[in-house]
Structure 1
Amino acid sequence: MIRPLLLLAAASLLLGCAQQTLRGTGDLGVVVERATGSVQIIETSHQTRLARIDGLGDLSHASVVFSRDQRYAYVFGRDGGLTKVDLLKQRIDRRVIQGGNSIGGAISQDGALIAVGNYEPGGVKVFDSKTLELVADIPATPLADGSRNSRVVGVIDAPGRRFIYSLFDTDETWLLDFSQGNTPKITRFKNVGKQPYDALLTPDGRYYVAGLFGEDGMAKIDLWHTRRGVERILDGYGRGEQKLPVYKMPHLEGWTVAGNQTFVPAVGQHRVLVMDSQTWKQTDAIDVAGQPIFVMARPDARQIWVNFAHPDNHQVQVIDSETHEIIATLEPGPAVLHMEFTARGDQLWLSVRDGNEVQVWDPYQLKLLKRLPAESPSGIFFSSRAHETGL
């Protein structure tokens, strides 16, 4: 009788251990450590670090998307590496070198496809999200001299199993439609404006807006009515203003559509521009402390948080979305590179690269809650992104 009791006790102990190691993925995230080619896995419920994963290559401009079950993070590296990280097993699941210089990517609406935009060889490659096997290779338009293909920027997923992106060197935007299988239908929009450099998709997935580095203005495409082509918005917004040297390109995926207003960074100016989200006309220009990089709304849209390019990147400013007044100027530390709100907005995490730390803030009280050590941190990405379109 003793042996069955011992077996039962052992089984109970093993079950208890298994239950203790189980966890959900909804509060997990990834912090990119750009100098060491590593990422940290963090959780927001207790604001702790869970693990560090090494061996991800050049992460100097890394971005991350997540599988629909929020278990896997797909990391796009500047060396062309595409790495699938298992957040629960805390290890690399798969890794491929798919190009020579990658500048980000996206995951399809159904979670089955991963699209990667490349500077080299210039184009987009699409992979199976489970195996990372190549599904499609779409070269970009060659330059007039034939020396290379155009660089691809602003790759975004769109509703209907589609991807949309821009070609920096040939002034185009391409829409890939995978709704009928793994051979995409390609729609090309030409002459969208000079040097489209990054883009935003509105939260409803309808409008793709590309910023233009080579001229003052933006290009908008209505994905409900693609035959209407490209519409120019904010045309000549900097007319009459002296444009300053651009030390770091703004990130348009950090734009903010807050109710009936859209807040965007002005290239080469110390301003955040405000547009009416229905008419796409400029309604205001807010003077800020430097050249804005990320312009991000708290999830309830009540505040707009802005960080800046060098030499003003030690500051973060908070704007009241209703009055457009700056309500706080914070100094978290040297080189604030990225900010990320938790899904329901109770926390703001920001990376302080030259301070080698990540900070957690209460955005309602404007209060620093916690500091976590990190090696030259840059991007912060939470798994809740798995359920957002256009990231």
Structure 2
Amino acid sequence: MSDDGRLAGGSALRALRTAAGLTIDDLAARSGVSLRTIGGIERGRIRRPHEGTLTALAEALRLGPDDGDRLRAAVRIEPAVIGLPRLTPCFTGRDDDLDRLTGAVSRHRVIELAGLPGIGKSALAAQAATRLSGDFPDGVRFVALRGSSAPHPAALARDLARSLGADLPDDDAGAVVAWRRLLDERRVLLILDDATDAVRLAPLLPHRGESVAVVTTSGPLSLPPRRARRVLTPLPVPDAELALHRMIGPAVPDAGIAELARHCHGLPLALRIVANRVRTRHGWSIARLTAQLARPGRHLEALTAGDLSVGAALDRGYRQMPESLRAAVRALAAPTPPAAALADLAGCGWIAPHHEVNPILHAFAVARTRDVRPAVPSTAA
């Protein structure tokens, strides 16, 4: 059991049973342990089986003392969480969203988490993965797809399978089939972050069994029709102010916090950038930073700090859109945007379902409109 000892208890028991050539019915008959209990252990529903149960299973599997001890240890191993980014230190204002997301994971096999770039989708997914890790005995895997630069699905499947202690075939088609079979047999939570291509994403998604995938996206995705969908909206004003206060500390008075938060329009990335600028530019007054944020047409320039940039985040999402949606974004620059543009952008999560346009997105739309100049018709000589 050199490899099985590294697995969570359910996977370890399943692997040992399979290696012994036994069905669950066989193991139940041989051990005297009920089918329900064995199935519960293998699926991770029973996290701390009784010592007598483990002894009966070990004897039925004809395990030696060392392998029996490894099985007992395996059921006490916390499932591995691999690839998770550093959690946002001042995660605030998303308690209801977190509850809804974790609730959806218990009811659906695929969950789409959509929203404007910088709205906090990755941070929310990471928080959910941490909260739910105990419900997935075969572990949690966080995969940063990085939009259109994501590797081939078969290559990702091989990497994921290796992290679960399995090897997939060398040919891509065989690797995808084997990956789906592996997901069917395990209980894994996949966080597939920043997806843009549903065709490349589909081979990674669970189709049966008890594995679950949470997919974050800033664009339109044609995911399975039975998937759940959640759209993140900007933070309410009190939560945005609280988040900024926690990031900056007591050095800035409440009135200054409120003024800075007002210019972030509930966008967590904007709040992080403003907090970074306050903490690192000691010679700057709050009034000076507020004045920068309030300059007409220059709002996005002020929302940049190091490698963090609201404008760059929006631009990445914009460039990955089809031209029809890019045109819809530019249409937001109009005093009264067309209803069709609002509906299209609500469909991909860039604006709220009730069609309220975030002022930061409006500023971005105005900037993109300046970039697209109508062609000047040539005149005949």
Q: Tell whether the structures are fold-level matches, with TM greater than 0.5.
A: no
TM bucket normalised to smaller: under 0.3
Q: Which has the higher contact order (CA 8 A, sep 6+)?
A: 2
- Decide which structure has greater helix share: 2
Structure of greater Rg: 2
Q: TM-score, normalised by structure 1?
A: 0.22
Q: TM-score, normalised by structure 2?
A: 0.22
